[in-house]
Amino acid sequence: MYKSAKDRTYGWIGQPLPPELIRRVRMVQAMIKPEDIIEDGIEREPHVTLAYGLTQDEPAILQRALQHGKPGMATMQDVGVFDQPDYRVLHMQVGGDSARNLHDIIRTKVGMPGFTHPEYNPHVTLAYLKKGVDDTQYRKYASLLSGHEFPITAPRFRNRRSGLYTLRPGQEVNKDELALALARIARINKEKQRQ
């Protein structure tokens, strides 16, 4: 959850949900009590996070890694909560191998230095709850979302400079874009060495 572009220490990759599923997510979000949510605590862009903690800002490098992945399907499962130091993340768990496979490819081929969790759990964030809020009251909303399938075919990459790019798993990277990206990386590394 970023408050502004300057807060963006890391980039991320997420698969947006299809419009019908977004409508259902919005229905569930509307039923969450406002007093249970932290300030600005409703997820505005419902998506499955495939990768977080990226320091690589070049989309061509990520596309090169994802050409080894395969698009596929995912399924909404059950409501869950991740506890963070200052809030609780109310989310829908996501099943299927596609999200996990793409996450593993990005993690091994590109790296995610800012991803500090012991394991990856595909999910769609619904809201950020205040500490101490009892989440069991929200588990009843799972039936509105669970069982719905959606494709993992065109994840979006948001880099640290606020750029937003669509990636295509299973497709080759454009060679010209890759060459430009590698040249930019070499130039940045050279400038860092001079400092």
Helix segments in the chain, DSSP class H: 19-30, 59-66, 98-109, 142-145, 175-194
- Find, among 170, 169, 172, 178, the residue nearest to 48 by Cα: 169
- The Cα 139–Cα 93 span in angstroms is 12
Name every residue whose Cβ is closer than 8 Å to that of residue 178 and which is 6 or more positions away in sequence. Answer: 60, 61, 63, 64
**Is 4 within a domain?**
no
Strand-pairing partners, residue 124, are: 48, 92
**Is 34 within a domain?**
yes
For residue 2, is pLDDT > 50?
no
**Is 3 within a domain?**
no
pTM of model > 0.75: yes
User: What CATH number does residue 41 fall under?
Assistant: 3.90.1140.10
Higher pLDDT, 71 or 130: 130
Domain that holds residue 64: 9-194
For 122-167, how does the pLDDT look when each residue is reduced to its tens digit (9 = 90+)? 999 999 999 999 988 888 888 899 999 999 988 888 877 767 778 7
